Chains A and B, each alone.
Chain A
Amino acid sequence: MPIFDQGYQHWNGTLHTRFWRWWAIARRGAWQASKNRFTRFVLFASLMPSLALATVLALWGLVEQQASWAELFLKTFGLPQTIFSDPARLRNVVWTLAFHYFSIFEFMAAMILVLLAGPELISQDLRFNAMPLYFSKPLRRIDYFAGKLGVIGLLLSAVVFAPMIIAYILGVAFSLDVKVVRDTLPVLLGGLMYGAVIVASAGTLMLAVSSLSRNTRTVGAIWIGAIMVSQSIAAITNETTKNDKTRVISYGGDLTRVGRELLGVPYAAQQLLDLTDEVQAITAHRTGPFGIPLPPAPPDKNRRRAERRGPQPQDFGPQGRQREFGPLFYFRQLADDPHPLNLSVGVLIGVFVASMLLLSSRVKSLDRLK
């Protein structure tokens, strides 16, 4: 029996508009990537920080409502009771810092996901010569790139966007105060914008790297190398030259710097520092678990030793600032971020433009394909 005897039926269905063609590529790519068990593990593991974020926001909501057990919670951990007098003034600080810590973990998860799913996005198409199949369909190159970028966007939305939004809704729900939305919406929007920046920047960079080789392992190695090497060079040059501008060499550092700015972390940290004096005054009269008064804390061993020997050269930072340690130092660093923002933005824009140029030269239309 000839093989065509089963017949051929004409098709009269409706076609989608061209605007959504990229979505088919994105959806299929994300589904393909999710078949990798490591990717599934990272997707699952990255839910933990989002659970923590939701928990913190919900707890803070209860603190704002002055729930009795929340008061007990504060007392148990020796936190200042003045928080109860007007918790709303700390709302933005707490939410911002909660989102900040969440974004640190999610940034790592995002980078790992990009590493797991990104290398094969274009390199596999080049290896299996799939370009003629794509471009013989009614697709433009921009649709193809958007679809491939959409794969990274979809995966990252599972670890960044969706958890952030869900945690935000939970936080608002537990606060039982409409004003929370007014105070904290910029934090959510900043977080979402940060996610979009990661997708756009890391996504296009990964696509560009993916177009360089037909071997996905090579692409993965280039990606890890680019991230780690830039990080190391930035750290070494910063240490040797004492110039904060050298921090922009680190690609990951640039992304996180922009993220901190979008979340409003420097302003939140400054607000926190402004409260320091008040908090220190309160903590001088410390109370332990269940409100038992405690004697003033003795200065720790390092501080006593430092006070005895006086200031040493190594105690001073690059700009002659005296070095501090501990959380206060960390918040001071956040408030007065030494990582130059404008340069970081410039570097990210430069990397984006370079990635697009590389992509456009590597992924050619059929005009120049063999």
Chain B
Amino acid sequence: MTLFDLKNVTKTYGKVTALNDLSVDMPIGAVGLLGPNGAGKTTMIRTLLGLIRIDKGTGTILGFDIRKDALKIRQTVGFVPEDECLFPGTTGVEFVAYAGELAGMGRQDAMQRSHEVLDYAGLSEQRYRPVDSYSTGMKQRLKLAAAIVHDPKLVIMDEPTNGLDPQGREEMLELARDLSHNKGMSVLFSSHLLPDVEHVCDHIMVMGRGKLLAKGRIDEMKARFESVYQVRVKREQEAFAHELQRAGCRTNSEDDALEVVTPDGVGPDLIWRTAAQSGKQIRYLRPRRSTLEEVFLKALED
């Protein structure tokens, strides 16, 4: 079963095309939605939630039609919005219970469940404090608690680590990862920060200008260039390439640098050793970027 499946989806706001004939399907699990600002991530999320009317195309999420089943989708999906948003004048426990009631839970159920998810989100000590007094990190966790109060099958997080300090970010990422990997809840994690997505997700889709640039399993996309390095030396690059080949590496000239593939299980030490033995001075050595990084950087450049 797919998590969502979009076919030729187009959405425009006036002259701006937010989603441009987007076709993508992703499996159940933890999916990262990566792309620079303005790539169309938020529009895609709202499309999936059935919050916006698309101009063209079709799609399903968890088997529900995004055009016809908007309310059913929102019943089954939890959403953590990007912006700071609060129900005014509430304490933490009231906030989450209210979110549960809006999702259709009974008052008592919602209150009981509110305590449970606040415990889970690490806000048990602050549950009776007015939400206006919460820190940014606490507000993010509160929004997550409100999103999962009715136990959705999928939780969509829109830039959940924005504005968080390192500890808050770490806590948020851990929660997202735990939900997706240990609690059987699918997660769609939208971010423009690659490390965050890598930490939480198994699958990824990269967007740019409303289009899909790449998608796949993160480990596969990263593994392709695990033992590939880009090397630049001072003078006699060709001679150094021969030295490396004698040491068991494969080389390929790439503009003013060498692309060096080391034998399996051998790291960059071999390149350093070879350079020392041949008296060459290495000016530049770095692992070759993964496809994922390349795609993401390309999206950023665009």
Question: Is the A/B pair a real complex?
Answer: yes
Question: Are A131 and B85 touching (Cβ within 8 A)?
Answer: yes
Question: Are B86 and A134 touching (Cβ within 8 A)?
Answer: no
Q: Is B51 located at the chain interface by the 8 A CB criterion?
A: yes
Question: Considering only CB atoms, which chain B residue lies closest to A2 in the complex?
Answer: B174
Which residues of chain B have C-beta atoms less than 8 A from A127's C-beta? 88
Question: Are A130 and B49 touching (Cβ within 8 A)?
Answer: no
Task: Determine the distance from Cα of A124 to Cα of B89 in the docked complex, in whole angstroms.
Answer: 9
From residue B189, how far is it (CB to closest CB) to chain A in Å?
A: 16
Known: A15-B150, A132-B81, A365-B51. A4 touches B106 (CB 8 A): no
Question: Are A4 and B120 touching (Cβ within 8 A)?
Answer: yes
Which residues of chain B have C-beta atoms less than 8 A from A321's C-beta? none
Question: Are A137 and B99 touching (Cβ within 8 A)?
Answer: yes
Q: Quick one: which of A1-16 are within 8 Å of B by CB?
A: 2-4, 6-16
Question: Are B103 and A138 touching (Cβ within 8 A)?
Answer: yes
Which of A24-32, A53-61, A190-198, A309-317 contacts its partner? A24-32
Which residues of chain B have C-beta atoms less than 8 A from A139's C-beta? 74, 102
Task: Name the one of B74, B85, B99, B113 contacting A11, with C-beta atoms under 8 angstroms.
Answer: B113
- Chain A interface size range: 35 or more
Question: Are B85 and A129 touching (Cβ within 8 A)?
Answer: yes
Q: Quick one: which of B134-187 are within 8 Å of A by CB?
A: 143, 146-148, 150-151, 171, 174-175, 178-179, 183-184
From residue B93, how far is it (CB to closest CB) to chain A in Å?
A: 13
Q: Is B285 located at the chain interface by the 8 A CB criterion?
A: no
Q: Is A91 located at the chain interface by the 8 A CB criterion?
A: no
Task: Determine the distance from Cα of A289 to Cα of B91 in the docked complex, in whole angstroms.
Answer: 63
Known: A2-B174, A130-B86, A138-B71. A15 touches B52 (CB 8 A): no
Which residues of chain A have C-beta atoms less than 8 A from B71's C-beta? 18, 138, 140
Number of A-B contacts (CB under 8 A): 122
Question: Are B53 and A367 touching (Cβ within 8 A)?
Answer: yes
Q: Is B226 located at the chain interface by the 8 A CB criterion?
A: no
Task: Determine the distance from Cα of A6 to Cα of B122 in the docked complex, in whole angstroms.
Answer: 8
Known: A4-B174, A137-B74. A11 touches B150 (CB 8 A): yes
Which residues of chain A have C-beta atoms less than 8 A from B105's C-beta? 13, 15-16
Question: Are A4 and B178 touching (Cβ within 8 A)?
Answer: yes
Which residues of chain A have C-beta atoms less than 8 A from B124's C-beta? 6
Q: Is B116 located at the chain interface by the 8 A CB criterion?
A: yes
Question: Are A8 and B75 touching (Cβ within 8 A)?
Answer: no
From residue B148, how far is it (CB to closest CB) to chain A in Å?
A: 8
Question: Are A136 and B121 touching (Cβ within 8 A)?
Answer: no
Question: Are B81 and A15 touching (Cβ within 8 A)?
Answer: no
Task: Determine the distance from Cα of A25 to Cα of B98 in the docked complex, in whole angstroms.
Answer: 8
Question: Are B74 and A128 touching (Cβ within 8 A)?
Answer: no
Which residues of chain A have C-beta atoms less than 8 A from B178's C-beta? 2, 4, 8
From residue B51, how far is it (CB to closest CB) to chain A in Å?
A: 4
Which residues of chain B have C-beta atoms less than 8 A from A189's C-beta? none
Q: Is B236 located at the chain interface by the 8 A CB criterion?
A: no
Which residues of chain A have C-beta atoms less than 8 A from B103's C-beta? 15, 137-138
Question: Considering only CB atoms, which chain A residue lies closest to B116 in the complex?
Answer: A9
Task: Determine the distance from Cα of A16 to Cα of B117 in the docked complex, in whole angstroms.
Answer: 20
Question: Are B88 and A16 touching (Cβ within 8 A)?
Answer: no
Known: A13-B105, A16-B106, A21-B104. A136 touches B81 (CB 8 A): yes
From residue A200, how far is it (CB to closest CB) to chain B in Å?
A: 24
Q: Quick one: which of A315-370 are within 8 Å of B by CB?
A: 365-367, 370
Task: Determine the distance from Cα of A103 to Cα of B51 in the docked complex, in whole angstroms.
Answer: 44
Task: Determine the distance from Cα of A128 to Cα of B83 in the docked complex, in whole angstroms.
Answer: 10
Which residues of chain A have C-beta atoms less than 8 A from B148's C-beta? 8
Which residues of chain A have C-beta atoms less than 8 A from B171's C-beta? 3
Question: Considering only CB atoms, which chain A residue lies closest to B84 in the complex?
Answer: A129
Q: Is B294 located at the chain interface by the 8 A CB criterion?
A: no
Question: Are A134 and B102 touching (Cβ within 8 A)?
Answer: yes
Question: Considering only CB atoms, which chain B residue lies closest to A31 in the complex?
Answer: B94
Question: Are B151 and A133 touching (Cβ within 8 A)?
Answer: no
Task: Name the one of B84, B120, B146 contacting A6, with C-beta atoms under 8 angstroms.
Answer: B120
Q: Show 22 A/B contacts (Cβ-Cβ < 8 Å), sorted by A.
A: A8-B148, A8-B178, A10-B183, A13-B113, A16-B106, A18-B104, A24-B98, A24-B101, A124-B88, A125-B87, A128-B85, A129-B85, A130-B86, A132-B81, A133-B85, A133-B146, A134-B102, A135-B51, A136-B51, A136-B147, A138-B72, A366-B51
A8-B117, A10-B184, A366-B51 provided; 16 other pairs, C-beta below 8 A?
A6-B119, A8-B116, A10-B151, A10-B183, A18-B104, A21-B104, A120-B88, A124-B89, A129-B86, A136-B49, A136-B74, A137-B102, A137-B103, A138-B71, A367-B51, A370-B83
Interface residues of A (CB under 8 A from B): 2-4, 6-18, 21, 24-25, 28, 32, 120, 124-125, 127-140, 365-367, 370
Interface residues of B (CB under 8 A from A): 46, 49, 51-53, 71-72, 74-75, 79, 81, 83-89, 98-99, 101-107, 109, 113, 116-117, 119-122, 124, 143, 146-148, 150-151, 171, 174-175, 178-179, 183-184
The 7 closest A-B pairs by CB, nearest first: A3-B122, A15-B104, A136-B79, A24-B101, A11-B151, A129-B85, A132-B81
